[in-house]
Amino acid sequence: MTVEPTELQQALDASAQAAKRVQLAQDAVAVSTAERRDALAAMRADRRRLQDTVEDHSARRFFQALEPTMCPRCDHPIDHDRQEREPRDHVCSVCGEHVDFGSDAEEQLAQIRERVGASTRYEREVSTRLEDLQRELRQAQSAMHDATRRVDQLANLRASIAERQAAEVELARVEGALAERSATAAIVRRTTEPSDRTVILAAAAAEANSRLATAQVTVFNELNNEIVDLGHRFGIEALEHVQIDRAAHLSVTKGGQTTTFSHLTSGERMRLKIATSIALLRLGHRLKIGRHPGLLLLDSPGGDETGAEDISAILKALAELAAELPVLQVIAATARADLARGHIEADHLRIAPKGGYLW
C-alpha cells in the first residue's frame, strides 16, 4: 500500500479547514455567551423592578385605605370637613398635602410586566441560540479530531512504508556482502588461527578475572559491613544493609525497603558519603590495597540538618581514623566549634575568635 502526496495534502487541507471552523465556532460561542449573560442580567433586573413596584403599590393601597380620626403626631382630632375633602379634593386629612391615590398604578404595572415578558423571551432566544452554537462547536471539534487522526494515520503509514523500503535495501546490501565474502570464508579461517601467545594471554586474563571475582566478594562484604557500622554510629538507625559494586553504585536497605543512594535524604547521603570514605580508607590500610593520596577534606560535616550527636560521632570517627592511619591527613571545616573541642586535640584545632576571621 502506498500513500500518494496528494492524498496526504488533501488530509492536511481538510484538517486546516476543520481547525478554522472550530475557531469560528469558538468565537461565536464566546459572543453568544456574553449576550446571554447580558440578557439574563436584564431579565433579573426587570423582575426585581416588578417585585418592588408591586410591593410599593400594595403598601400604598393599605395606608390609603386607613381613615385616621386624630393626628398620629399630637393626637389632635381630625374634623369631619377635612375627612370629606380627602377623597373629593385629593388632600390629606392629616397634613393637608396632595394625595396620589394611584390612578395610573395599574398602567405602570402593566408596562413593567410587558417589559419583563419581553426580557424573558429575549433571554430564552439567546439561550437557545447559545445551545445551538455550542452543539455546532462540538460537531466542529469532532470533525477536527477526525481530520487530525486521518493526517496522523497517513503520515505514520507513509513513514512505515519508507522505513520498510530502507530496511529492504539494507537487507539486500548485507546479503550481497555476505555472498561476496562466503567464497573466502574457509581461507580466512585457516589464516586467522590464534597464536600460542594469544591463547596464553586469554587464559591469563580469564584466571585473573576469576581470582578477582573471588577476592572481591570478601573485600566488598567487609566494606559493606564497615559502612553499615559507621552509618549506625552517624545516626542512620534504620540502616540494615548496603551493597557497593566496582562501579561505585551503592544500594541501601533501610527499614526493610531497598533503594538507591540518590533516593535517600540529603542528610543521609552526606553521612553515608563520609562513612564510605572512612570505610574505604580503613579497609585499604588493613588489607594493604589501594592508592589513596593521604588527604581527606570534609566541608561542613554537620550540614543537612544533622543532629549534634551525629556530628559528634562523625568527628570522633575522623579523629580515630587519623590516629589509626598516621600517613593520612584529615581536614574538616565545621561551624560547631563546641563539638570539635570534645574530639580533636587542641593543637590540631584552629577556631576563629568571636566576631573575627579564621585566617
Q: What is the CATH number of the domain that holds 140?
A: 1.10.287
Per DSSP bridges, beta strands 329-333 and 295-299 are parallel
Q: Does residue 54 lie in a domain region?
A: yes
Total number of residues shown for the chain: 359
The DSSP code sequence of 62-111 is HHHT---SB-TTT-PBPPHHHHHHHHHH-B-TTT--B----TTHHHHHHH
278 and 155, same structural domain? no
AA letter at 281: L
- For every one of its 359 residues, what pLDDT tens digit does the chain have, with 9 covering 90 and above? 454 557 767 777 777 788 888 888 888 888 888 888 888 898 899 889 888 888 877 777 666 666 666 766 676 776 766 666 666 666 665 665 665 655 566 788 888 888 889 989 988 998 998 899 888 888 888 888 887 887 777 667 666 655 556 656 665 665 565 556 555 554 544 555 556 777 788 788 888 877 777 778 888 888 899 999 988 888 888 899 999 887 888 899 988 889 998 888 888 888 888 888 888 888 888 888 777 777 888 887 766 656 778 788 888 888 888 888 877 888 888 887 888 888 888 888 888 888 888 77
Nearest partner of 274 among 246, 309, 299, judged by Cα: 299
128 and 14, same structural domain? yes
Q: Does residue 149 lie in a domain region?
A: yes
pLDDT of residue 95: 63
132 and 33, same structural domain? yes
Give, to the nearest 10 degrees, the angle between helix 266-287 and helix 308-324.
Answer: 20
DSSP assignment letter at 264 = S
- Which long-range contacts (C-beta less than 8 Å, at least 24 apart) are formed by 15-22? 15/144, 15/147, 15/148, 15/150, 15/151, 17/147, 18/140, 18/143, 18/144, 18/146, 18/147, 18/148, 19/144, 21/140, 21/143, 21/144, 22/137, 22/140, 22/141, 22/144
160 and 211, same structural domain? no
Q: Does residue 171 lie in a domain region?
A: no
122 and 19, same structural domain? yes
Range of the domain at 325: 205-348
pLDDT of residue 242: 92
122 and 52, same structural domain? yes
Q: Does residue 87 lie in a domain region?
A: no
Domain end: 164, 183, 218, which one? 164
Residue bearing cell 575522623: 318
The answer to whether residues 1 and 157 touch, using CB atoms and an 8 Å cutoff, is yes
Q: Is 162 exposed, middle or buried (0-12, 13-18, 19+ CB in 10 A)?
A: exposed
We report the CATH number of the domain holding residue 241 as 3.40.50.300
Q: Does residue 356 lie in a domain region?
A: no
219 and 142, same structural domain? no
Tell me how far the alpha carbon of residue 355 is from its chain's centroid: 44
300 and 222, same structural domain? yes
Q: Does residue 172 lie in a domain region?
A: no
Domain end: 110, 131, 164, which one? 164
Sign of the C-alpha dihedral, residues 37, 42, 45, 47?
A: negative
- Residue 43: count of CB within 10 angstroms of its CB: 21
289 and 150, same structural domain? no
Structural domains in the chain (count): 2
First to last CA, the chain: 80
Three-state helix/strand/coil letters over 199-239: HHHHHHHHHHHHHHHHHHHHHHHHHHHHHHHHHHHCCCCCE
341 and 223, same structural domain? yes
Q: Does residue 194 lie in a domain region?
A: no
248 and 130, same structural domain? no
DSSP assignment letter at 117 = H
Strand partners, 256: none
AA letter at 173: R
209 and 160, same structural domain? no
Q: Does residue 338 lie in a domain region?
A: yes
